[in-house]
Amino acid sequence: MSVIHVDGLHKTFQTKRKAAGFGGSLRALWKPDLQTVEAVREISFQMEQGELLGFIGPNGAGKSTTIKILTGILHPTSGTASVLGFVPWQERQKLAYQIGTVFGQRPQLWYHLPAVDTFYLFGKIYEMEERKLRQRIGFLSEAFEIEHLLETPVRKLSLGQRMRCEVAASLLHKPRLLLLDEPSIGLDVVAKQRIRETIRHMNEAEGVGVLLTSHDAGDIEALCKRVIIINHGEIIYQDKVSALKRHYLTSKQVDVRYSHPLDPNFSIPGVQMLKVGTFGAKLQFDVRETPVERVMTALASAGSLVDVTVSDPSLEEVIRTIYES
Amino acid sequence: MRAEPAVSTTSARTKFRAQYWAKYGAVLRTQLQNSFAYPLDLLARSMMILLFMWVFVNLWRVTYSAMGSGEIAGLTLANTMWYLLMAEAVMLSKRDLSKDISDQVKDGSVAYLLNKPFNFILYHFAAGLGDSLLVFVTNALLGGALVWWLVGPPPGWLGWAAAMVAALLALLLDFCFSALIGLAAFVAEEVSAFRWIYQKFLLVLGGLLIPLDFFPEWLQNFSRALPFAWIVYGPARLFVDPSAERLADVLLHQLGWLGATGVCVALLYRWVVGQLTINGG
């Protein structure tokens, strides 16, 4: 059963442009230069009950606008959408009882109060019974490992701790669908990993569907089975994550550092040496042609390793590859 | 197919009303808790009224002695001071909702408020009232103590009782005007100019600067025909000179303007919510 059904959704809005300087300001007053921006262009997709769907694209691609249309905050210019059977922008309040949202760049917890105070407020807002609310807070604080954080004012929490509390707050009323807009933005590697684990745990434990936007391909790779890539407001790819990995996440970049000077002519067959320095090197290879294991063995045999970082291609590179193909 | 309600309690229509309104009580309570988070800040905000009242007492003492009369337009120095105390207590405690809404539109946090199951306007009113009540009480107590010490005791309990009802309606009326200005931010984003104009109307035509009784008759009539007088002048004048006739006059004007502005707020909200563009995507 599909929980989200989007058909030909289109959103345009107008922005004012102004030339630099005082003259530009005066001209803008007299004759404003209005530019129409197509934030979302005729997109169509579906999401199934309990699915973990990734919605990725670079900054300004239209991800957040799409999420805000799906929550009913923004009205589309044309097209139709149905979320859990509701038309979001016509039945926003009814839909609000069924969905949870997190906008990673903006807090929903009251900044000066402990998170638990916001939890109790949300319980009232979602009209939950006191007993059920207490049980739910207990369950979520255990699942998200935030018991020790609940009574600390939100302003004193680290970004990673705050994000765990934010996601827990959005799940208080047991929504059937969770819309997460950049939940991992600004987090370090460890905090990102914990957020990903808790999202996956809640998806498995309660069957809550998750639509996750990110500009970090790693989020999608770690969490989602299916992915939609959006760029300049258009869907340029939608398929299983395994297919995306097979076709486009095939190259790996490795940064390596040694405790002793490296041979300037150091190379590995099938691997492109991007840079070879005195104590380290940067290299890139295609996993379909050169297995990771072979590269790692060659790197380890070249000397005493101090540090190794393996990274995937950036989302921009993936999009460029999709366009090129 | 529509999903079953995620929260079982919402399905019961009989519970709906009580629970629906309870959420605004919870918002008010949470805002009160929030105001207590920084007690020193709360106290510092209330210190302002001490400075204002001290300046007013000294200014008006000079004016009354220059006039050589114990009364101006039927008000003694003590009456004028208690009038100004009530006017300032209302004005200094009211939350600037238009700025709240405008900031939320500018930084995009309005997104969180629009996708919660409550009425955006009522939420703001509950939060604003939670903030204002505490500040109003501290302002009235601190400022009242100073004015009592400087010019003598306050009006009787009848004045307090009547003024409290009128002050609550005044905060509600001010809220409606602030909401109208704030909602304009959904389209215009920057509304500080409208806010400035509104504040100046309250200052001059509302009776915050001086009681309207001191104006020439034509200006008094003009001011009374506008809503601003019923936000400041009405409760403050009722405070120093309570009577059934004056109470009825103030409440009728306040309720009339509340009805008119309330309809405007509801209509404007319905229109602007469809025009919203969230900054930052």
- Asked if B117 is an interface residue toward chain A (Cβ–Cβ < 8 A), one would say yes
- The CA distance from A200 to B117, in Å, is 26
Question: If pLDDT is split at 50, 70 and 90, which confidence band does A190 have?
Answer: confident
For residue A75, the chain B residues in CB contact (below 8 A) are 274, 276
> In CATH, which of 1.20.58.760, 3.30.70.250, 3.40.50.1820, 3.30.365.10 is domain A251-324?
3.30.70.250
Q: Write the CA distances from B266 to A88, B17, B192, integer angstroms.
A: 20, 20, 22
Residue B8 has a pLDDT of: 45
- Is B225 contained in some domain? yes
- Is B13 contained in some domain? no
Q: What is the pLDDT of residues B226-246, one digit of tens each?
A: 999 999 999 999 999 889 999
Token output for A39: 């934030």
For residue A1, the chain B residues in CB contact (below 8 A) are 1
- Is B70 contained in some domain? yes
Is residue B4 pLDDT above 70, yes or no?
Answer: no
- The CA distance from A75 to B205, in Å, is 40
- Is B8 contained in some domain? no
Question: If pLDDT is split at 50, 70 and 90, which confidence band does A6 have?
Answer: very high
Strands A33-48 and A2-17: antiparallel
The A280-286 sheet, strands edge to edge: A272-276, A280-286, A251-258, A305-311
More confident residue, B179 or B40: B179
- Is B104 contained in some domain? yes
β-bridge mates for residue A256, sequence order:
A281, A308
Residue A325 has a pLDDT of: 67
Question: If pLDDT is split at 50, 70 and 90, which confidence band does A217 have?
Answer: confident
Residue B134 has a pLDDT of: 85
| Closest residue by Cα to residue A195 from A174, A177, A171, A230 | A171
**Using the beta-carbon criterion (under 8 Å), do A68 and B30 form an inter-chain contact?**
no
Distance from CA of A88 to the nearest CA of B (A): 10
Is residue B11 pLDDT above 50, yes or no?
Answer: no
Is residue B201 pLDDT above 50, yes or no?
Answer: yes
- Is B7 contained in some domain? no
- Is B262 contained in some domain? yes
**Domain count across chain B:** 1
> H helices within B70-156, ranges in order?
77-93, 97-107, 110-114, 120-151
Token output for A19: 């030339």
The Cβ of residue B153 has, within 10 Å, a number of other Cβ atoms equal to: 10
What's chain B's average pLDDT? 86
Give Cα B163 to chain centroid, integer Å: 13
- Asked if A112 is an interface residue toward chain B (Cβ–Cβ < 8 A), one would say yes
> In CATH, which of 3.40.30.10, 3.10.50.30, 3.40.50.300, 2.10.70.10 is domain A2-11+42-247?
3.40.50.300
Strands A234-240 and A226-231: antiparallel
Question: If pLDDT is split at 50, 70 and 90, which confidence band does A14 have?
Answer: confident
**Using the beta-carbon criterion (under 8 Å), do B15 and A173 form an inter-chain contact?**
no
The Cβ of residue A262 has, within 10 Å, a number of other Cβ atoms equal to: 17
Question: If pLDDT is split at 50, 70 and 90, which confidence band does B185 have?
Answer: confident
Mean of the pLDDT values across residues A242-250?
A: 80
Q: Is B81 left (phi over 0), alpha (psi -120 to 50) or beta?
A: alpha
User: Which of B1, B3, B276 comes nearest A98 by C-beta?
Assistant: B3
Map out the domains of chain A as residue ranges: 2-11+42-247, 251-324
ipTM of the complex: 0.80
Concatenate the DSSP letters of all residues of B196-253 into one string: HHHHHHHHHTSSSSS-GGGS-HHHHHHHHTSGGGGTTHHHHHHHHS--HHHHHHHHHH
**Using the beta-carbon criterion (under 8 Å), do B117 and A74 form an inter-chain contact?**
no
Question: If pLDDT is split at 50, 70 and 90, which confidence band does B278 have?
Answer: low
Mean of the pLDDT values across residues B92-104?
A: 85
Question: If pLDDT is split at 50, 70 and 90, which confidence band does A222 have?
Answer: confident
Residue B1 has a pLDDT of: 43
The DSSP H or E segment spanning B56 is helix B39-67
| Closest residue by Cα to residue B174 from B93, B119, B82, B249 | B93
Is residue A257 pLDDT above 80, yes or no?
Answer: yes
Range of the domain at B143: 20-272
- Is B92 contained in some domain? yes
